[in-house]
Amino acid sequence: QIQKQCDQKLIIRMKTECVPCSLNLETQCPAGYTKVTNSTGIPDCRYYLEIKTHTLSFPGCRHHCVKEFKQPECCQGHWGPDCMGK
């Protein structure tokens, strides 16, 4: 049995919006994504608050999320619909 299908594993990474770290405990990743950070996330961003005429910037936190999926591909030397994963 020669393997004709060599799926590529794709990983998409994203970061949630920057919010105050205390609020970030509740932050969930979008549907289909897995949270790879925990508790309050990573304090590597700033969020902004507009107060009357001023915009203030504060250190905040965000979570990192990943999504994995397989992209069907033919192995080297094979092509056509018989190895593109139905």
> Is 11 inside any structural domain?
no
> Is 7 inside any structural domain?
no
> Is 49 inside any structural domain?
yes
> Is 80 inside any structural domain?
no
Mean of per-residue pLDDT scores for the chain: 90
pLDDT band at 84 (very low <50, low <70, confident <90, very high): low
> Is 85 inside any structural domain?
no
- Bridge partners (DSSP) of residue 57 are 48
Tokens of 64: 């990192």
Q: How many domains, the chain? A: 1
> Is 41 inside any structural domain?
yes
CB atoms within 10 A of CB 8: 9
Residue 1, pLDDT above cutoff 70? no
Q: Give the residue-averaged pLDDT of 29-56.
A: 95
Range of the domain at 57: 19-72
Note the pTM of the prediction, 2 decimals. 0.71
Residue 42, pLDDT above cutoff 60? yes
Q: Give the residue-averaged pLDDT of 53-65.
A: 96
The per-residue pLDDT for range 22-33, each reduced to its tens digit, is 999 999 999 999
Three-state secondary structure string covering the chain? CCCCECCEEEEEEEECCCECHHHHHHCCCCCCCEECCCCCCEEEEEEEEEECCEEEEEEEEECEEEEEEEECCECCCCCCHHHCCC
> Is 82 inside any structural domain?
no
Tokens of 45: 């961003």
> Is 5 inside any structural domain?
no
